[in-house]
Amino acid sequence: MSTAPPEDFGFDSPFDRAGTGSSKWARAGAPGVIAMGLADMDLPGPPAVAAALRSRAAHRAYGYTVCDPAGRALVARWYRERHDVEVDPDWVLLLPCGPRTALRLLLETVRPQAPVLFPTPEWGGFAQICRAAGVAHRELALTVTGDGYRLPEAGQLPRPASALLLSSPHNPSARVWPGAAVRGLAAWAARCGALLVSDEVHGDLTHPGRHHPVAVTTAHPWDRRHVVSLNSIGKTFNCSGIPSAFALVPDPALRARFTDTLAGFGLWEGGLLEQTVQEAALRAGGPWLDALLAHLAAARARLTERLGPAVRSAPQASYLLWLDAAALGLPPEGARRALLERCGLEASDGAEFGTGGRGSLRLNYALPGPVLDEVLERLDRL
């Protein structure tokens, strides 16, 4: 019995984003520089998404839309099939905004009185959002062991606290947090009346052989009302330019308050393009995602082998590589500029990820095969 060859999605072919208004490439600056800074893939997205957008655009009525409640069941099915966990469709809020906006509105909903906690190094958006909301916040230094970063244990967390924000998998190191550690943080949140908010936008990009702990299902059932998981198809399916997200909120009272907050800002569940793209991705994007994960795992292996001890924490998900600037022979202060000047590679400065990120660089390796070949050649200039 013959087996059909895997579908070719063009990950090893040149892919030009010129003329698309890409902020990632605009930030890279000079011609000839390879953009590896922002968390945005330089790979063609799922054909099913492109087909759905063409089909919807052909109907020339683009007015207000209602939320399709079937979308909640579709999200639940996605979690069942991709993560082997049961998400109650009633927990799902289908948001017409990106995860960053969703988190900001969630803080508006809970109105924190005590400080908000988050690790360092960590995605810099947490600090920006807390400052914009006028919320006191505190960084918690992550420790590093032989296998990468470790989350703080519940007994190490300061009190009082109103919330703990977490990127899971970790951004910038792409570490998949152990389920037991996430469960312990959920229990801590329940004990002190806080909220664990798990930003899981890289969770569907967990590499083969790894399992992503979805916070709301990893937590003990009696702790779940103190947990919110945020996710989006944006990172997974390379469509962040059409902002959307879904929030998993097991607590019905918090879910109702969150919905009221959204309405107060003129936002309601659904959205014309958001629903079109999300439905297509979750229904038909699986084969594309499987091929993408194989491509990313191969790229990760090539880069980590080349960079060796400069890799601070072995990546287990997504397309991010967290590097020690000094181990690359770069000055800890000004490493981003030095890498740009020596190799023509643009990265994210570790200082953008809090005090724990100083002296580090983050590289995005979601690149076509020929571009990755060029990156490896340029790294020989170090």
| pLDDT tens track for 120-137 | 999 999 999 999 999 999
Q: Any residues with CB less than 8 A from the CB of 348 and at least 6 apart, and which?
A: 37, 38, 172, 336, 361, 362, 363, 364
Please give the model's pTM, rounded to 2 decimal places. 0.95
Q: Locate 73 and state its tokens.
A: 């069941």
**Ramachandran angles phi, psi of 102, nearest 5°:** -60, -40
Listing DSSP states for 91-143 in one string gives GEEEESS-HHHHHHHHHHHH--SSPEEEEES--THHHHHHHHHT--EEEEEPE
Q: Which domains does the chain have, with CATH numbers?
A: 23-46+286-379 (3.90.1150.10), 70-284 (3.40.640.10)
Helix (H, G, I), strand (E, B) or coil at 364: strand
Q: Could you tell me which of 201, 190, 240 has the C-alpha nearest to residue 42?
A: 240
- 151 by Cβ neighbours in 10 Å (0-12 / 13-18 / 19+) ranks as buried
pLDDT, mean of residues 215-234? 98
DSSP class of 322: E
| pLDDT tens track for 305-357 | 999 999 999 999 999 999 999 999 999 999 999 999 999 999 999 999 999 99
Q: How far apart are CA 63 and CA 355, in angstroms?
A: 46
6 band by pLDDT with thresholds 50, 70 and 90: low
Task: Give the model's pLDDT for residue 19.
Answer: 87
- Exposure string of 97-123, with b = 16+ CB inside 10 Å and e = fewer, is bbbbbbbbbbbbbbebebbbbbbbbbb
- 327 by Cβ neighbours in 10 Å (0-12 / 13-18 / 19+) ranks as middle
Q: How far apart are CA 135 and CA 194, in angstroms?
A: 14
In the predicted model, is pLDDT for residue 154 greater than 90?
A: no
- CA–centroid distance for 229 within its chain: 12
CA-based angle 191:226:249, to the nearest 5?
175
Percent of the chain with pLDDT over 90: 92
Report the mean per-residue pLDDT for the chain: 95
What length is written for the chain? Answer: 382
Q: Could you tell me which of 162, 220, 153, 230 has the C-alpha nearest to residue 186?
A: 220
Percent of the chain with pLDDT over 70: 98
pLDDT, mean of residues 362-380? 97
- CA–centroid distance for 93 within its chain: 18
pLDDT, mean of residues 61-68? 94
225 band by pLDDT with thresholds 50, 70 and 90: very high
In the predicted model, is pLDDT for residue 5 greater than 80?
A: no
Q: What is the dihedral of CA 334, 173, 109, 181, to 10 degrees?
A: -140
In the predicted model, is pLDDT for residue 245 greater than 60?
A: yes
| pLDDT tens track for 178-200 | 999 999 999 999 999 999 999 99
What Cα–Cα distance (Å) separates residue 27 from each residue in 22, 47, 150, 203?
9, 27, 32, 26
